[in-house]
Amino acid sequence: MAGWRAQLSGNPFATMVALTAVVLGALGMIIGDGVSRGMTDSLAGHANAIAHLWGLIFATGGALTLYGLYARRVTLELPGLYLVAGGYAFYCLTVLTGLKQHGLAAGVISGGLAAGGLLKAHAITVRARQVGAATPEAAGGETA
């Protein structure tokens, strides 16, 4: 029980960003285009099917990110972050396109979250390359 609390205190923002993606994605899967007026307006007659698909991808990304965070598995967190960033970016575009100035707040917030997801994914990738380059296997050395 104490493990998840320690992880939450160490990653509260990432946890809530990913958890929000799961919740909003689940709503998109269940409700469809009713989840976002901006999505409905910007995607015209295709909004319902796209909203269900977006919801599935978004919720999956959030779940992968959460699992990767708490299991300390960057191999799952990284693809989750890319899916979450894509979900927030897609929402940003549809809400800004569909609602224009009335969607500025939601668009800017979701755009910022998309950028944050991409920046974290990039930081993980850079760190993994640094660690990989420091191992004897990567340098052509022998392993025991």
Mean pLDDT, to the nearest integer, of 118-138?
A: 85
The answer, yes or no, to whether residue 134 has pLDDT greater than 90, is no
Q: How many residues does the chain have?
A: 144
140 inside domain:
no
The answer, yes or no, to whether residue 111 has pLDDT greater than 50, is yes
pLDDT band, very low/low/confident/very high, at 1 (cuts 50, 70, 90): very low
Mean pLDDT, to the nearest integer, of 10-24?
A: 90
Whole-number Å distance between alpha carbons of 36 and 12: 26
Whole-prediction pTM: 0.84
141 inside domain:
no
Provide the number of structural domains found in the chain.
1
Mean pLDDT, to the nearest integer, of 86-114?
A: 94
Alpha-carbon separation of residue 95 from 9, 44, 80, 103, 110 (angstroms):
32, 13, 22, 5, 9
23 inside domain:
yes
102 inside domain:
yes
The range of the structural domain enclosing residue 21 comes to: 2-134
Q: What is the DSSP string of 57-71?
A: HHHHHHHHHHHHHHH
What is the token pair recorded at 59?
Answer: 């919720």
Q: Does residue 81 contact residue 71 with C-beta atoms inside 8 Å?
A: no
| Residue-wise pLDDT tens digits, 81-94 | 999 999 999 999 99
Residues 6+ apart with CB under 8 A from 107: 38, 92, 93, 95, 96, 99
pLDDT band, very low/low/confident/very high, at 29 (cuts 50, 70, 90): very high
User: Alpha helices, DSSP H only, in the chain?
Assistant: 2-10, 12-31, 37-43, 47-71, 74-99, 104-134
